[in-house]
Amino acid sequence: MQKVVIVGGGGHVGLPLALVLADSGFQTVSLDISTETVETINSGKMPFAEVGAQELLSKTLADKSFFASTDHKVIESADVLVVVIGTPVDEHLNPDPNAVVNAVSACMPYMNSKQLIILRSTVFPGVTERVKSLLATSNLFPEVTFCPERILEGHALKELRELPQIIGATSESGANQASELFEKLGVKTIIVMPEEAELAKLFTNVWRYIKFAAANQFWLMSNEAGLDFSRIREAISFEYPRASDLPNAGFSAGPCLFKDTMQLAAFSNNNFALGHSAMQVNEGLPLYLVSKLEEKFDLKNLTIGILGAAFKGESDDIRSSLSYKLKKILQFRARKVLMTDPYVSVDAKLISLEETIEKSDVLVIGAPHYAYKNLVTTKPIIDIWNLLGNGNLI
Ligand SMILES: NC(=O)c1ccc[n+]([C@@H]2O[C@H](COP(=O)([O-])OP(=O)(O)OC[C@H]3O[C@@H](n4cnc5c(N)ncnc54)[C@H](O)[C@@H]3O)[C@@H](O)[C@H]2O)c1
């Protein structure tokens, strides 16, 4: 049985992959620097929400096809090493091209040249080549591939078994070994060069980010003209396939799309007007929303309740959530701000939905959770998502 060690294996991408591989005939280990995460996983509890993962974690721990560890020594007996640590941009929006290189560096004392290395974090283009050069300085010549993750957080277990896998490899042997691994999950593979795969992943995320920005800009224009964008969008996309992918308005945030747009901007020497414009539109939405609230209400004498803290609907992930940006702005402009979320458990300041509704004068949907869809209240609800189906003119 092949042994796979996943570096960063306690995270949103690493853990689902480890579980699915364990369920597909591999012996897998999640290697992570977070002791807390490793203890949580080994105690049988998922550290975050992911459909079907709790059951799979219990099963794979019980049949001993999976465990988590903080000890790099587990790498010594591995056939395959997957590296999928987080790759955020810093507070000045600079990517850190050395994050993955440094993580690999810590693994090197335990590595050997027979191993297959799969880099899976979303990276600054050129990182795969850097990792290869670094390994060579220690006389390590394993096959190094770049195989990006393209799952939708929350649906990883399903999508890992469905989405075609892009494989960036420079040698036939590396491409074959990586293909064999992913084909065991029942997916098709596409072989390209590592830099093509690195860019493919960035382009995928940035394309989505720009699409959301276009929709948000259209919403903003419609709103300024006193028109309901949701009606216009419906008219455009009705039985018209070429516009069927026009998204609705809404906060576009989270741990990937924004930072990957900034990674691509840095890669193109900051000559990425489209990406920066998309950032301005998407990140500017909370401010625009508050300016509209100020036109409609006497904000400084009102309590505003934000429904949904997560960065997207049906998620418990608050990383880079624009609900928190909205909260920050409102804390300055309104009398009081309250926030609630049925899924988020990492913020002690959140209160129940009932209390939020009761104590607020105006409600704003921050994340379109289904729980808010049939909300019954006489309080005004600001809903740029059109979750409630009443349009999104504010
Ligand atoms: N979240 C998504 O939906 C998604 C989808 C596709 C791709 N990605 C990409 O996958 C990568 C990981 O994202 P994520 O959301 O899983 O991040 P995450 O923060 O949830 O997980 C990263 C994990 O790596 C661990 N870690 C950090 N440095 C380490 C090191 N040196 N050695 C061992 N463990 C280390 C952390 O403790 C954490 O558990 C990023 O590059 C991201 O852009 C994410």
Q: Give the list of residues 6+ apart from residue 280 with CB closer than 8 angstroms, or none.
A: none
Closest atom, ligand 1, to C-alpha of 107: 32
Residue 364: per-residue pLDDT: 98
Q: Considering Cα of 149, then 154, then 159, then 163, what sign does the dihedral take?
A: negative
Spatial distance between the Cα atoms of 351 and 305, rounded to a whole number of angstroms: 10
pLDDT one-digit tens code per residue, 235-265: 999 999 999 999 999 999 999 999 999 999 9
Measure Cα distances from 168 to 9, 48, 128, 198, 331 in Å: 21, 29, 9, 8, 46
Q: What does the radius of gyration of the chain's CA atoms come to, in whole angstroms?
A: 23
Residue 56: per-residue pLDDT: 98
Q: Give the list of residues 6+ apart from residue 262 with CB closer than 8 angstroms, or none.
A: 89, 93, 94, 95, 275, 279
Residue 213: per-residue pLDDT: 98
Residue 394: per-residue pLDDT: 94
Residue 123: per-residue pLDDT: 95
Cα of 109 vs centre of ligand 1, distance in Å, is 22
- Please, are residues 267 and 124 in contact by the beta-carbon 8 Å criterion? yes
Residue 95: alpha-carbon gap to chain centroid: 16
Q: 21: closest CA among 208, 175, 165, 202?
A: 165
Residue 320: per-residue pLDDT: 95
CA angle 135, 136, 141 (to 5 degrees): 80
Residue owning the nearest CA to atom 1 of ligand 1: 12
Residue 335: per-residue pLDDT: 98
Phi, psi (rounded to 5 degrees) for 62: -65, -40
- Please, are residues 41 and 68 in contact by the beta-carbon 8 Å criterion? yes
Is residue 15 within 6 Å of ligand 1 at its C-beta? no
Spatial distance between the Cα atoms of 303 and 379, rounded to a whole number of angstroms: 11
Residue owning the nearest CA to atom 4 of ligand 1: 13
Spatial distance between the Cα atoms of 374 and 227, rounded to a whole number of angstroms: 24
Is residue 50 within 6 Å of ligand 1 at its C-beta? no
pTM attached to this predicted model: 0.96
DSSP annotation of 193 reads -
Torsion of CA 131, 133, 134, 139, to 10 degrees: 120
Q: 322: closest CA among 279, 361, 264, 355?
A: 279
Spatial distance between the Cα atoms of 355 and 303, rounded to a whole number of angstroms: 12
Is residue 316 within 6 Å of ligand 1 at its C-beta? no
Is residue 356 within 6 Å of ligand 1 at its C-beta? no
Closest atom, ligand 1, to C-alpha of 156: 3
Is residue 256 within 6 Å of ligand 1 at its C-beta? yes
Q: Which two tokens stand for residue 247?
A: 């998204």
Residue owning the nearest CA to atom 25 of ligand 1: 8
Residue 242: per-residue pLDDT: 97
Is residue 14 within 6 Å of ligand 1 at its C-beta? yes
Residue owning the nearest CA to atom 20 of ligand 1: 11
Spatial strand order of the sheet with 303-307 comes to 336-340, 303-307, 362-365, 381-382
- Residues in the chain where the model's pLDDT stays below 50: none
